[in-house]
Structure 1
Amino acid sequence: MRVDEPVEKLLRLTHIQRAGLKKLGIATIRDLLYHFPARYESSADIKRIADTQPNETAILYGAFSKLEMKRSWKTKVPMAEGTFEDESGSVRIVWFHQPYLAKMIRTGELVRLQGKVTERNGKKYIANPVAEKAAGIPFMTSGNSFLPVYPETVGITSLWFYHAIKRVMESGILETIPDPLSPEILKTYSLPSLKSALVFIHVPKREKDAAVARKRFAFEEVFLIQISRVREREKNREKQAHEIDADENRVAEFMRAFPFTPTSGQKKAIGEILADFLEPYPMSRLLEGDVGSGKTAVAAASAYAVVTSRPTGKGGVKQTFGNLQVAYMCPTEILAKQHFETFTSFFRKYPIQIGMITSSGCYKFPSKIKKGEATEISRSQLLKWVANGEIPILIGTHSLIQKTVNFKHLAYVIVDEQHRFGTFQRQAIATKGGTAPHLLSMTATPIPRTLALTVYGDLDLTVLDEMPAGRKAIKTEISTPARRAGVYEKIRELLKEGRQAYVICPRIDEPDPTKALALQARSVSAEAKRLQKDVFPEYTIEKLHSKMTPTEKEETMERFASGTTHILVATSVVEVGVNVPNATVIMIEGAERFGLAQLHQLRGRVMRSTYQPYCFLMVEHAGDNPRLKAIVAAKNGFELAEKDLEIRGAGELYGRRQWGISDVGMEALKNLKLVEAARTEATFLVTNDPLLRKSPLLKKLSEEKATELHFE
């Protein structure tokens, strides 16, 4: 029997089990072996209710009765309350601010409960425990009190996995599986063999065994990713790029017209890009810069070097006419328009035409009739001028990758907030034109260094970690309902000084009161009405959300940018790139409902001027929230990314669904040395055997892993 054969070749499955395995992504025996336990429980941690002591954290198995949704007597806080029972007794359970849990857990259903036991007036209770459905009470393996708990589904329990894996091990298949890691690598990094690691991870006798196995599989996964990334980098270096006149003096002259002094970080980034332009192969670089660090200026300066270079004609001779071209792809129309306006201001005194293409219209700068302004033109006319090379710079959204958009001499592609585009979309823009264009990917989303080294191993990394001169550090505060009035007064004070404000809500419309599971949170619609009527009647308030048409969004943003609107009540649609320097305060309702990366991006909306910026994180109740405390303490996005990785692995900013990396692989991201070691070994392997002829198994596995990875 082979490891790539279907599970059913070894195990008899019911219809329900077959469906459950499909849901878990398990088709082959290999898939089954690589379905690792999510955690391990020691039988010593599992308690009976009667044996629990106050102030201890306990794991209980039992069922609920009398679960109901209600509100607390004095504060009217929404809550779920019930009684949890096992064969030894019962204990009161309460969840504050989570009334929907009363509808999610059925009475009499077996549940695993973990929480801190508290005693009040001689009676025990557990507040806000973690509860999850359990297929059964953890089983005891022979001579082992260290119990594996697997990701489960209907019909497939941890007990099922235990017996299934035991059958696989007894069949002798482990002896036949080739180890992708060489004996030299295993010895160098003190890693167990594949067979030992599979035994250790599924049936560990000690916690140390499981840790060693997880380290081995983490290394293996990152190593396979690195091989695919290094091969991609080498493949890129075989391509021919356009020849660009990367004259630093010409670019420095262009930058002297900037209305600000470039930071040393911007100058360094531009220098690295210009050096890449001198190479015969195309650049592949990731520019990671915090919100407001000046990535657009770097893009403009490097674009200037490209569009002032002449194309190469037949016979490899430089032409004396024409321009190389630049494509700048943005994730939203608002951002495309904003960058179009920024570029036109930078290039105003140069005879270079700039076009913009989005689904709602096309523009060209400068206008032939209105000097110094942009003009709206037909799509066909814009496409014609791009195709014949008359428009050297084209800025747009996904419209840029349509088949009808053709360039004459596309030499440079800039992709902004690149994690918002799929791999296919980025490749589609990068393959327009014959000769391979240089590629600059930009992001303001904080990425931990280990993740950048892993997922973007084929890209060179440039970091802008310095803010423009005069920018003040943002003051961030976690505020409870008791402090709401004070927050409103601070906003009023800033509005009187002429500033503007954002109010961010998790929902667009009010939740349906008849639906218990609906997200109970403040909505844009209701909050805009309430603020206008009861709090800020003297100011103009508008709404912005994803249900509005592109034209409505654009007109709303124009009124806010011009200062006509004082307060913008919005969803997280303002998260990416919106630039209104006069807006210096943001109030985020239900802050605990937003992801950490989202909060950082939203906070960045008010960090675009020399005024003091403020961010108020509104929460429903005071409590220990490490994520929100991290955002208050973090000085920049990079520090925040590392802190988040430390708090909860890569789960909040980045996770399995987003990147295609397993939970074990994500654990590796806490270990910079492990990631660097995998990168070093992958580079050595590919350098000495580019086609991996000597390592067919690694070639096969790394290619399979590459297809699983995604960058959305």
Structure 2
Amino acid sequence: MQLLYLNPEYNGGMKLNDPLSSCFRILPIQASALKRLGIISVRDLLYHFPARYGDTAQVTSISNLRKGDTAVIFGRISGLKTSRAFRKKIPMAEAVVEDETGKIKIVWFYQAYLAKMIMEDSNVRVEGKVPERNGELYFSNPRIENAPDLFTQTKAHSLYPVYPETRGITSNWIYHKIQSIFASGILSEIQDPVPEFILKTYKLPDLKTSLIYIHTPKKEAHAQIARKRFAFEEIFLIQLERQKARHLFKENNAFVIEKSEEEIEQFVQRFPFTITSAQRRAIEHILADFKNGHPMSRLLEGDVGSGKTAVAAVAVYATATSKPKGQNFGTLQSAYMAPTEILAQQHFESFIKYFSHLPINVALITGSGCRKFPSKVHPDGWTNISRTQLLKWVASGEIAVLLGTHALIQKSVTFKNLALVIIDEQHRFGTTQRQKLAKKDGKTPHLLSMAATPIPRTLALTLYGDLDLSLLDEMPAGRKKIITEIITPEKRKAAYEEIRRELKAGRQLYVICPRIDEPDPTKELAIQTKSVKEEAKRLKKEVFPEYEIGILHSKMKPAEKERVMLDFKDKKIDILVATSVVEVGVNVENASLIVIEGAERFGL
């Protein structure tokens, strides 16, 4: 997020919102490249920060290079060409780099594409090993990058910025255009969005100084403090936006829901487990929010298995057994949105168990169809119903609890007395989607968002500053401890035998891989890790040929993903090889093991 604006008295020629094309001569290939980088205006270019910095102070002159050195040189490149080795026909690229002390040859084997990525006669930084052949020193397969030519002309400072680039735009081009913007005098007229007293409190530089420091640091400390300031600014502006949204939301009116402690306790006593003290605290928070006449806006965070659904069920119970204030008829309604159809179906079945003893109608709406509980034909079970009929019952208020996926936020779904909205795995939904559901009809409903992703408390308060926070930091009694082991290559065979014993006992297995397809061997920066498709083939051919193996990843169509997850749930698939897309898929109680390949590629 950027907030950059000018003093209204500034009369300079360049404006922050001016397109770069009106300030500089931009070639068509450069215009396309800038668009790919998301750079349109002067403001965008100022906020296109370096990815890192090179340091010419660490450079060795070519005349001082010795055989076996690992060195960095800085100079002008020429003679770029591609060829194939005489005997083995290996694709290779060659060039010559020259500084004021001499020349040296560069050779890249199997990386001929590099000759097309570097411009002839451009200034470069070269880093690598220096072998000798036929009495001549050369660089073999070095790292190379463009560097601004400023540093061949002056020693004012040795750090040079390396920006995120794309074909048609180099760091050198970006650097010089930013220097031209600085020279225009526009920095003196930019107003800082962060108040001066806050900058002093946290010992942060002002905006003008930070922009100069981040694009032209004289020392590493300048670059670091500038990055710290811009990180602070981004978080600060997010918090302001969230607090504004919070206050606007709280100004609305909501249904008042009041339930006695005895009623809540009677409902909780029916659970097949004893709720934790953390769940009790969360329930107390929610019931207190229900009473004040303004919409609740709360985030319920807890690990998988901590009992978020049970807390949500209590909130739904309090809502569904209450009537609109001043009425002795009708019921307040709840909407529960889940990220996948299978998860929505599982919550639907769970809610049937929670509310089967009460005269409460529970329904499910997804892209695949609609269901209602109880059924006139089967009082103890649900029945399929038409979408048209379900929408009529929701609009009339007959359906007290409606669960579903994105289908809930369609215009055709209207409620009579929507009092509570619950969003499961809320980080999976955009802000607009959450707002659409929270502003459905009439009064603003109470909002309960739930997340199993372990977001640190301080980060949660920043990103979700418009939400109050309740933490479920305890697991229900009797829950088995999860055993986590790091398997080294020499222990892999033994691990597979342990997995085979579990599979023979009727259990199922997840295998998580960082990639969908195998990495392209011609791409230097491709992540070399296991892929879903190849790992599934390998496991089937070499390790578990007797078991059914399925795959799941984000490139599959939604219907296909749903089918695979249903097959896994119904035990038609024994081993599911997937990317992290499976994390919000389905609760398969029979799956007792998970193997994470390339675990270092995943965060928390």
Common fold by TM > 0.5: yes
**1:584 matches 2:592:** yes
SS for the counterpart of 1:575 is helix
Distance 1:30 1:534, change over 3 A: closer
| Residue 176 of structure 1: how far off its partner (Å) | 2.1
Matched, 1:440 2:448: yes
Residue in 1 aligned with 2:381?
373
Query: Which of the numbers 6, 19, 28 marks the counterpart of 2:41?
Result: 28
Q: 1:509 to 1:89 in 2, by over 3 A?
A: closer
Percent identity over the alignment is 54
> Is 1:344–2:352 an aligned residue pair?
yes
Distance 2:167 2:421 in 1: 47
d(CA) in 2 for partners of 1:14 and 1:108?
A: 18
| Residue 417 (str. 1) matches residue 425 (str. 2) | yes
Q: What is the SS of the residue equivalent to 2:210?
A: helix
Matched residue pairs, number?
574
Pick which of 560-569 and 209-218 moved more.
Answer: 560-569
Contact 1:52 1:117 in 2 (8 A): no
Residue in 2 aligned with 1:566?
A: 574
User: In 2 relative to 1, CA 218–588 (structure 1 residues): closer, same or farther, beyond 3 Å?
Assistant: closer
CA distance in 2 between partners of 1:378 and 1:127 (Å): 70
- 1:471 aligns with 480
Q: Deviations over 1:221-240 (max 9, x none)?
A: 32222221111111111100
What residue number does 2:602 align with? 596
Specify the alignment match of 1:323 in structure 2: 331
Moved more, 235-244 or 521-530: 521-530
Q: Write the distance in 1 (CA, Å) between the matches of 2:298 and 2:242.
A: 13
Change over 3 Å in CA distance of 1:106–1:525 after alignment to 2 = same
* Equivalent of residue 3 in structure 1, options 4, 15, 25: 15
- The one-letter amino acid of 1:272's match is H
Match of 2:285 in 1: 272
Confirm whether residue 285 of structure 1 aligns to residue 302 of structure 2: no
User: Which residue does the alignment assign to 2:6?
Assistant: none
One-letter amino acid of the structure 2 residue matched with residue 535 of structure 1: V
Answer whether contact 1:37 1:150 (CA < 8 A) is retained. yes
Distance 1:494 1:382 in 2: 43
**TM-aligned CA deviation for residue 581 of structure 1:** 1.8
1:202 paired residue number: 215
Tell me by how many angstroms 1:169 deviates: 2.8
What is the alpha-carbon distance in structure 2 between the residues aligned to residue 243 and residue 149 of structure 1?
Answer: 57
Deviations 1:427-472 (A, max 9, x none): 1111111100111111222324443232211111222222233231
Describe the shift of the 1:570–1:175 C-alpha distance in structure 2 as closer, same or farther (beyond 3 A). closer
SS of the counterpart of 1:291?
coil
Q: Give, in angstroms, the shift of residue 279 of structure 1.
A: 1.9
Q: For the residues of structure 2 that align with 1:444 and 1:80, how far apart are their CA atoms?
A: 50
2:364 is paired with a residue whose SS is: strand
Q: 1:514 to 1:29 in 2, by over 3 A?
A: closer
Note the 1:139-178 alignment, pairs <5 A. Answer: 139-140=151-152, 141-178=154-191
Q: Is contact 2:397-2:416 (8 Å) kept?
A: yes
- The alignment yields a C-alpha RMSD, in angstroms, of 4.1
Q: 1:577 to 1:279 in 2, by over 3 A?
A: farther
- CA shift in 2, pair 1:468/1:566, >3 Å: same
Relative to structure 1, is the Cα distance of residues 223 and 552 closer, same or farther in structure 2, using a 3 angstrom cutoff? closer
CA contact under 8 A between 2:147 and 2:160: conserved in structure 1? Answer: no
The one of 446, 466, 485 equivalent to 1:458 is: 466
CA distance in 1 between counterparts of 2:521 and 2:46 reads 46
Aligned match of 1:675:
none
Stretches of structure 2 that go unaligned for 5 or more consecutive residues are: 1-11
Deviations 1:304-329 (Å, cap 9, x if unpaired)? 111111113xxxx1x22221111111
Give me the whole-angstrom Cα distance separating, in 2, the residues matched to 1:181 and 1:579.
45
Contact 1:246 1:277 (8 Å CA) reproduced = no
Contact 1:103–1:517 (8 Å) recurs in 2? no
Structure 1 pair 404–563 and aligned structure 2 pair: CA distance change class (3 A): same
Residues 354/84 of structure 1: CA separation in 2 closer, same or farther (3 Å cut): farther
TM-score by length of 2: 0.82
Residue 346 and residue 45 in structure 1: after superposition, are their counterparts in 2 closer, same or farther (change >3 A)? farther
User: Alignment partner of 2:376: what SS?
Assistant: coil
Question: Equivalent residue for 2:307?
Answer: 294
Given residue 472 of structure 1, which amino acid in structure 2 is its aligned partner? K
Any conservation in 2 of the 1:545–1:571 contact (CA below 8 Å)? yes
Task: Give the Cα–Cα distance (whole angstroms) in 2 for the partners of residues 285 and 231 of structure 1.
Answer: 16
Bigger Cα displacement from structure 2, 135-144 vs 379-388: 135-144
Cα offset, 1:335, TM superposition:
1.2
Q: After superposition, where does 1:274-673 map in structure 2 within 5 Å? A: 274-312=287-325, 317=326, 319-469=327-477, 470-480=479-489, 482-505=490-513, 528=536, 531-532=539-540, 534-544=542-552, 557-558=565-566, 560-563=568-571, 565-589=573-597, 591=599, 595-597=601-603, 640=604
Moved more, 482-491 or 11-20: 11-20
Letter in structure 1 aligned against 2:336: Y
Asked if 2 retains the 8 angstrom alpha-carbon contact of 1:139 and 1:159, the reply is: no
Structure 1 counterpart of 2:4:
none
Cα deviations across residues 69-127 of structure 1 (Å, max 9, x unaligned)? Answer: 9xxxxxxxxx9999897556568889xxxxxx84764468469788886999xx99999
Inter-CA distance 260–484: structure 2 relative to 1 (3 Å threshold):
same
Q: 1:215 to 1:375 in 2, by over 3 A?
A: same
Is the partner of 1:475 in helix, strand or coil? Answer: coil
Name structure 1 gaps, 5 residues minimum.
Answer: 70-78, 95-100, 598-639, 641-712
Following the alignment from structure 1 to structure 2, what is the Cα–Cα distance between the partners of residues 377 and 596?
A: 42
**Structure 1 segment 95-244 matched on structure 2, within 5 A:** 102=111, 105-106=114-115, 109=118, 131=143, 133-134=145-146, 139-140=151-152, 141-244=154-257
Pick which of 372-381 and 507-516 moved more.
Answer: 507-516
- Contact 1:285–1:440 (CA under 8 A) maintained in structure 2: yes
Report which stretch shifted further, 263-272 or 31-40: 31-40
Q: TM-score, normalised by structure 1?
A: 0.70
The question of whether the paired residues in 2 share the 8 Å contact of 1:48 and 1:86 is answered with no
